[in-house]
Amino acid sequence: NAGVTQTPKFQVLKTGQSMTLQCAQDMNHNSMYWYRQDPGMGLRLIYYSASEGTTDKGEVPNGYNVSRLNKREFSLRLESAAPSQTSVYFCASSGRDTQYFGPGTRLTVL
């Protein structure tokens, strides 16, 4: 039982490049979330998915897209990376009230 897994752990991009962050959970949770965490800003919700096939914007969705391909997987895509997207990205899932987080992806955009 791996919980929530994320790939990659680290990534460096140049401005304008694209990439997809992958997230998977094996707890049969309906809800999944993508957050970014920046110093002094705390965790901010980018997108969430209440169930397979549904997604909705969070607090800071600009510059990101998501896909909930199936119940297990929820991916986050940066179409044209910008230095302001340098951050640590966390994926989480929840069955009811509590959230279970992945280990994070540290992304640097040069």
Partner 1 sequence: SQKIEQNSEALNIQEGKTATLTCNYTNYSPAYLQWYRQDPGRGPVFLLLIRENEKEKRKERLKVTFDTTLKQSLFHITASQPADSATYLCALPVLSSNTGKLIFGQGTTLQVKP
Q: Which residues contact partner 1 by CB under 8 A? A: 4, 31, 33, 40-43, 45, 48, 50, 58, 90, 92, 94, 96-104
Closest C-alpha among 56, 66, 62 to residue 84: 62
CB nearer to partner 1: give 17 or 106. Answer: 106
The radius of gyration of the chain's CA atoms, rounded to the nearest angstrom, is 13
* Distance of alpha carbon 93 from alpha carbon 13, whole angstroms: 26
CB nearer to partner 1: give 29 or 78. Answer: 29
CB nearer to partner 1: give 76 or 92. Answer: 92
